[in-house]
Amino acid sequence: MTLTPSLFIGLALLSSSLIAVVNAHNDTPALTMVGTTPNVPKNIVIMIGDGMGPAYTSSYRYYKDNPETAAVEQTVFDRLLVGTSSTYPARVSGYVTDSAAAATALATGVKSYNGAISVDTDKQKITTIMEKAKALGLSTGIAVTSQINHATPAAFLTHNESRKNYDEIAKSLLNTDTDVMLGGGQKYFPPTLIKQFEAKGYKYLADFSQLNVITEPKVIGLFADVQLPWAINDKGAHKLSKMTQKALELLSRNQDGFVLLVEGSLIDWAGHNNDIATAMAEMDEFANTLEVVERYVRQHNDTLMLVTADHNTGGLSIGSNNEYLWNTDIINGVLNSPNVIASLSLDDDNWQSQVSSKLGFELNSDEVNQLTLARMQGIDVMETAIKKIIDLRSYTGWTTKGHTAVDVQVFAAGPASTLFNGYQDNIDIANKLMSLLPQNAKLKLNTTNSEQAQNN
């Protein structure tokens, strides 16, 4: 018998339904045990490396490799790899998805058009996994490095016909009753809107240091005007890791369970910029965050972590120019993002030594000539020239500034993680995750409604 994704989902639903029937009169979560590990999770952590196609996880392995050892060391991605996923959107948008359509698929199990925020091709709302979790009494939260009203978090929490309607999306988050929202986006949340959140019981945080003192959920933390700082320029801050740790801590207070979305948003943004040094720093912070969640899963055997990418960005190539080389020393030596280096070069008459210091290598005469010409044309041209020098020195290639349609990888750990083994489509991932929501909670809701009807 071939175990197709549909059959996997059916088996999961059957298993969950049987468990629910057995536990229908039990107030505890419907978790049966295999040894000491439940086969259905109480908590689900969904982690998305935005734009993180397979070349990103491979390049990260080499980026982190210890050159003094004979072996190439595994990373957390290698350790957790279980399968792959296709990412294409609804037919109307062809084969190459954007983040909105991909997030809609992952959040709802329904394909839609590029730009859609959890609405179908007729622009009708589709129920998300977060909405279903909330209806079942679970807590929900997000921790992202983009603005919290960006495409991916928005598609998990709310609905809109266009991802570009940032102000509308920000206002709509007020009605989602999401327990924890952490990321950037102050620009889209004026004081009047923040006061509305506070009136609904939310604690508003604008300073990242305030995160340490929060002990109760119902929190909205906006720690940047738009995106959080690039990890390469914010070394040691580990903002995504810390937001995720705090979200886990706060959401764990709900004994019925939680669903948490974590997004390494800026991997995609670095890919769009064709910026390998910045991309690897973002990958490093996302990997650190995976390890935070993996540790939580080991300590809480009722928690499933599911990790994937929404799509691939940039067409990253490990090796270029017909050379069988990829020089990670160059990438590891870059101290700041190219836009910061470019900015510094415009403000310093001694710019050549400044650029060499930040890049970690001495510029040759051809490179000096290229940058001298670029510097006269402004910061954007200078930044592009710096990135091209890094690419040439490291033998990094790119095929596009946009997305590609290649399959992405799937990583998982915890109860029911084997459900995601092998190939699947992104809507299969969503349907499998939703099938794992606590079925006994549905029975409790139905029982309560029936009792109320009888009493009335």
Enumerate the active-site residues: 99
| Nearest-angstrom CA–CA distance, 315 and 54 | 10
- Copy the structure tokens of residue 100: 């909105």
- Alpha carbon of 33 to those of 23, 319, 435, 437: distances in Å? 13, 47, 18, 16
Backbone angles phi, psi at 407, to 5 degrees: -65, 155
Residue pair 141/181 in contact (Cβ under 8 Å)? The answer is yes
What would the DSSP string read from start to end of 198-243? HHTTPEEE-SGGGGGG--SS-EEEE-SSSSPPPGGGSTT--HHHHH
Alpha helices (H) in 252-364, listed in sequence order: 266-272, 276-299, 328-333, 338-346, 351-359
Helix (H, G, I), strand (E, B) or coil at 136: coil
| Nearest-angstrom CA–CA distance, 178 and 230 | 26
| Nearest-angstrom CA–CA distance, 271 and 266 | 8
What's the chain's length in residues?
456
For residue 30, how many C-alpha atoms fall within 13 Å in the half-sphere facing its CB?
21
| Nearest-angstrom CA–CA distance, 180 and 173 | 11
- Copy the structure tokens of residue 381: 């041209």
The DSSP call for residue 84 is E
How many CB atoms neighbour CB 450 within 10 A?
Answer: 10
Strands (E), 152-192: 180-184
Cβ partners under 8 Å of residue 199, min gap 6: none
Q: What is the CA radius of gyration of the chain?
A: 23
Beta-sheet pairing, 396-397 with 203-205: unpaired
Which residue is listed with tokens 């340490």? 212
